[in-house]
Amino acid sequence: MRASEILAVMSALATSGLACASHPRPEATEVPAGPASRGEASCRHDLGRCGGHTPGDGACRSATPDTPKNPLEDVVLAPGKFAEINLDMGDGSSTEVTFEATGGPLEWNVHSHDGDNVVIHAEGTGTDGKLRFAAPRAGLYSYLWKNAGAGTVRLSTRLASTGQVRVHSVEPAP
């Protein structure tokens, strides 16, 4: 298990509903920390950011202007694995992700990075739902789903957005 997966597990709590307050969490390494930037240079491969893939393999390509409607479609998560949508959002932009998990509940959170700290904006557990998030400022924000159960779970998502929203990266990569 990679350090990023361990830290993602630690940051996901089994609560329900949307949390209204933000609070810092220990460092996680699934997305770049610091100011939002685009493309391969922002990935911080040396720190294992963006899943620790190899520089130049295209996994950190800049997002296209059109935000995909189904960034995670029919993804199978083995026990202990996670899936994530990383979004580059403009100030005041908002998103709504509808998700469905077949085979068991998934722990989920909406988070961002403030330097080396992870800020959890909302979290919960469920087999389906609509997760709404409005960016308090421009930056990189992530929706993460973690399979904490003993069996495999199939995840599908649908993304809707308002304002300046671009998919930065998706884990697992399509």
Residue reference for tokens 């699934």: 30
Q: How far is CA 7 from CA 31, 50, 118, in A?
A: 12, 14, 10
Percentage with pLDDT > 70 across the chain = 60
What residue ranges define each of the domains in the chain, with the CATH number in brackets? Answer: 3-171 (2.60.120.680)
In terms of phi and psi (left: phi > 0; alpha: psi -120 to 50; beta: otherwise), the region of 68 is beta
Residue 11's pLDDT band (boundaries 50, 70, 90)?
Answer: very low
Residue 13's pLDDT band (boundaries 50, 70, 90)?
Answer: very low
User: What is the strand order of the sheet 153-162 is part of?
Assistant: 75-77, 153-162, 94-102, 128-134
Positive or negative, the CA dihedral 157, 160, 108, 1 is positive
Q: Does residue 26 sit in helix, strand or coil?
A: coil
pLDDT digits (tens, 9 = 90+) for 30-83: 443 333 333 333 444 343 344 444 444 444 433 334 455 777 888 999 999 999
pTM for the model stands at 0.63
Percentage with pLDDT > 90 across the chain = 52
Positive or negative, the CA dihedral 39, 72, 57, 82 is positive
Encoded tokens for 109: 């959170």
* Number of helical (H) and strand (E) elements in the chain, helices listed first: 1, 10
